[in-house]
Structure 1
Amino acid sequence: MDAGGEEAKQERHLVLAHKLFLLSHPDLDDLAKVALRSDALDAVKSDGMAPLFESLAAAGVLEPDDALLAEMRARIDEEVRKLDEKIADAEENLGESEVREAHLAKSLYFMRVGEKEKALEQLKVTEGKTVAVGQKMDLVFYTLQIGLFYMDFDLISKSIDKAKNLFEEGGDWERKNRLKVYEGLYFMATRNFKKAASLFLDSISTFTTYELFPYDTFVFYTVITSIITLDRVSLKQKVVDAPEILAVIGKVPHLSEFLNSLYNCQYKSFFVAFSGMTEQIKLDRYLQPHFRYYMREVRTVVYSQFLESYKSVTMEAMAAAFGVTVDFIDQELSRFIAAGKLHCKIDKVAGVLETNRPDARNAFYQATIKQGDFLLNRIQKLSRVIDL
């Protein structure tokens, strides 16, 4: 797939949102921020985003420029006047579909210049002029894009619920599949990685939401959410061997090694790839707030997988397998054991790890006994009633 072509289709305000996120990132060097600042200013100027320019200037992200701000505001006023004239003309002289199109044009213009509240208000007006379910869904997608630009999770959640209600009236598969990716992104951004992985995996072969991100970014999200939520068998079937993922996984640095070394139990390679992945996760707008949580979850998965094979193992052997020191393993495992994430104990004197994971078969047996007792009690009570 042509990544460059996909990049061109990405909604430009979401590209801008990512650049603004990077500008506020403490880990990015000043030289990179100079180029980003220039790109952001060009994007804001080309779309005449007066409200955004004003807030960025007030925050010290961009240099204040009163003349530029006044010029952008004048341009907005003039354009809104023209759009209102077109709406009035359509209402007087044309049909319902032309009236709707004129209102939609005004909604899209408010979106373009970054007038969030006016855009949402105008989209509601446009919805009132819209009959077809598919067109109503398209309005919801516009609202979701506004929500993603501002990271307004309340707006995103309500819009997804609204879209699902619309689908009960009808709607085509293409839009339903697009909604899955929007919903998956929402779940990932709100730390529900299990639901995100499920929705992303459902969308691998039907992905068309290039307005959100290119396909290789989608595969990146799919792999990293799957690694911490799927068991080994499911990971192999749905991710490791998935032809759609295999076709593009090489485009994302370290991702193939990250996935395959984990599945193939090559722990030294995994830790090398893992350190390479941390930068990408940290510099991702949707994942960065969950960086520390994700790092913990991945380590839990990999340590659990290693310990699964042993009743007991020396700490030296584990440290050698991971290519780290015994002290590092000691500190790491102590934290995870204390948090209840790993089922093992450390024999510090012998330098041995002993696993004490719950026995699933025994737990099932105990549950069956408990349910059997409950059933017998119910039968005894029932027999007393019948005897009477």
Structure 2
Amino acid sequence: MEADKEACQDPRLELARKLFLLSAPEIPDIEKVQLKEDVIAAAREDDMAGPYEGWCHKFGWEIDHALLAKMRAKIDEEVRKLDEKIADAEENLGESEVRDALLAKALFFIRIGEKELTLEQLKITEAKTVAVGHKMDLVFHTLRLAFFFLDCDLISKNIEKAKSLFEEGGDWERKNRLKVYEGLYCMATRNFKKAAELFLDSISTFTTYELFSYETFVFYSVVTSIISLDRVALKQKVVDAPEVLTVIEKIPHLSDFLNAFYNCQYKTFFFAFSRLTEQVRLDRYLAPHFRYYMREVRKVVYAQFLESYKSVTMDAMAKAFGVSINFLDTELSRFIAEGKLNCKIDKVAGVLETNRPDAKNALYQSTIKQGDFLLNRIQKLSRVIDI
């Protein structure tokens, strides 16, 4: 059963992952040789003439002109056959057959990696589509195409389009799938809080195997939740979640990363964190935010440690994290200067003193300020009325 689910993963998105790794400087040249062979094999199998030519220019590969000509000839022949089927359906068959023939042409353009032709054909197919469910399926086709090219504008527009369609109707299965698509978009655009919320809402109903495996889904859920949820929510929704517990041990270092963070085992956490960074760096959706994510994780874990103390020595904190005092001093100084940690460093005494903002006092001051503003407005209004 699990193998059948994995087989449903969109091959275009797996190809996009390999193309990303070909551009990653961390990948050894010997691995890139195999990646190149896989990419060219995929292009040959699906007649991806346009993308193949583009990849050759991008990566400096020599173009196989005979292969390119062969792929283009096969594309022309297939388009001719599809056009004949569309014409036959329009002349001799019903509207549903016409729609199916138009969709077949759109799916062919998706297969060969032609973005603009696909979007144009999907628009033509949508004009012949009546059922909301079928329209939603067209949106999902568009979203996967947009994720292949990482066209965030196209993703955003189609997520909004899907939400509008759901106002006309739509089943729960498609609604749950859309949450994962939107969560992936939010993560890819650095909205980790919204991504975590959407992923966790879908964790017990996940069926979106066309995007990624369930292990990858849990990985995304954990890494976004760590920097987005408070301790109570993290415990309830992630640490103790049965869906997470079933697969987390299969993902290298993720269990230590999550549990050491929650259990305040900071040395273990930092070790797991350092091992997990490679997975974040080599993920095509997370990689652009690698430095930001690393900072956010460190900020959250430092804040959690300092929450327990009014003051603590730098030496004690450095030992807890398994790092040097100089490293910790540099790290904390940067976060304090940016206003991300509420503490100050007494360099002479080698002590960290927390200065948490008093929420009640801040609320009191805000109420007084708003009250003064309201009284001034009332006085001005009373003078106008007197006149």
TM range, normalised to the smaller chain? over 0.9
Name the residue aligned to 1:159.
Answer: 158
Q: Bigger CA drift: 290-299 or 163-172?
A: 163-172
Q: Give the distance between the partners of 1:342 and 1:238, measured in 2 at CA.
A: 26
Tell me, yes or no, if structure 1 residue 250 matches structure 2 residue 249: yes
**1:244-266 CA distances to partner (integer Å, 9 max, x unpaired)?**
11111111111111111111100
What SS class does the counterpart of residue 346 from structure 1 fall into? strand
Residue 381 of structure 1 deviates from its aligned partner by: 5.8
Matches within 5 A, 1:175-324: 175-324=174-323
1:63 Cα shift? Answer: 3.5
Aligned AA (1:238):
K
1:171 is paired with a residue of what secondary structure? coil
Are the equivalent residues in 2 in contact too, given 1:41–1:62 (CA < 8 A)?
A: no
28-37 or 140-149, larger mean C-alpha shift:
28-37
Structure 2 letter corresponding to 1:341:
K
- Please list every run of 5 or more consecutive structure 1 residues that lacks an aligned counterpart in the other structure: none
Q: State the alpha-carbon separation in 2 of the partners of residues 221 and 26 from structure 1.
A: 23
Matched, 1:110 2:109: yes
Q: Secondary structure, in 3 states, of the residue corresponding to 2:27?
A: coil
Which amino acid in 2 is paired with 1:276?
R
Task: Name the SS of the counterpart of 1:131 in structure 2.
Answer: coil
Q: Measure the CA separation in 2 of the matches of 1:293 and 1:368.
A: 35
Aligned residue number for residue 349 of structure 1: 348
Letter of the 1:195 counterpart: K
Aligned partners of 1:62, 1:135: CA distance in 2, in Å? Answer: 40
Post-superposition shift, 1:175? 0.8
In 2, distance between residues paired with 1:170 and 1:61? 49
Displacement, 1:235? 1.0
Residue 168 of structure 2: SS of its match in structure 1?
coil
Q: Deviations over 1:314-372 (max 9, x none)?
A: 00000000011111111111111111111111111111111112111211222232333
Partner of 2:145: 146
- Native 8 Å contact 1:19 1:36 kept in 2: yes
**What is the RMSD computed on CA atoms of the aligned residues?**
1.6
The answer for the alignment partner of 1:337 in structure 2 is 336
- The SS at the match of 2:14 is helix
Aligned residue type for 1:354: E
Structure 2: where are the runs of 5+ without partners? none
Cα distance in 2 for residues equivalent to 1:119 and 1:370 = 57
Greater mean deviation of Cα atoms: 311-320 or 236-245: 236-245
2:190 aligned counterpart, secondary structure = coil
The residue type paired with residue 137 of structure 1 is M
**Alpha-carbon offset, residue 172 of structure 1:** 1.1
Return the letter of the residue paired with 1:227: I
Q: Distance in 2 between matches of 1:297 and 1:349?
A: 28
- Percent identical across equivalent pairs? 74
Q: What secondary structure is seen at the aligned counterpart in 1 of 2:303?
A: helix
Deviation at 1:384, TM superposition (A): 6.5
Structure 2 match to 1:365: 364
Match of 2:30 in 1: 31
Matches of 2:385 and 2:136, distance apart in 1: 58
Q: Which moved more, 1:36-45 or 1:101-110?
A: 36-45
Specify the code of the residue in structure 2 equivalent to 1:90.
A
Report the alpha carbon displacement of residue 382 of structure 1 after superposing the two structures with TM: 6.3
| Contact 1:23–1:61, Cα closer than 8 Å, also in 2 | no
Distance in 1 between residues matched to 2:59 and 2:304, nearest whole Å: 47
The one-character-per-residue Cα deviations of 1:153-212 (angstroms, maximum 9, x if unpaired) are 111111111111111111111111111111111110011111111111111111111000
- Code of the aligned partner of 1:285: R
| Residue in 2 that maps onto 1:136 | 135
Inter-partner Cα distance in structure 2 for 1:249 and 1:79 = 45
Match of 1:171 in 2: 170
Describe the shift of the 1:192–1:360 C-alpha distance in structure 2 as closer, same or farther (beyond 3 A).
same
- Which AA in structure 2 matches 1:313? V
Q: What pairs with 1:119-130 in structure 2 (closer than 5 Å)? A: 119-130=118-129
Structure 2 counterpart SS, 1:253? coil
Question: Does 1:60 find its partner at 2:73?
Answer: no
- One-letter amino acid of the counterpart of residue 206, structure 1: T
Question: How far does the alpha carbon of each residue in 1:204-234 deviate from its partner, in whole angstroms, 9 at most, with x for none?
Answer: 1111110000111011111111111111111
Q: Is the 8 A contact 1:314 1:353 kept in 2?
A: yes
- Per-residue CA deviations over 1:81-112 (Å, capped at 9, x if unaligned) read 00000000000100000000000000000000
Partners of 1:256 and 1:22 in 2: CA distance: 25
| Aligned 8 A contact 1:53 1:62 in 2 | no
> Which secondary structure does the structure 1 equivalent of 2:312 belong to?
strand
Counterpart of 2:195 in structure 1: which amino acid? A
C-alpha distance in 1 between matches for 2:175 and 2:59: 41
Superposed displacement of residue 43, structure 1: 1.0
Question: Shift of residue 5 of structure 1?
Answer: 4.0
Q: Is the 8 A contact 1:49 1:113 kept in 2?
A: yes
The one-letter code sitting in structure 1 at the alignment partner of 2:107 is: L
Provide the secondary structure at the position in 2 that maps to 1:229. coil
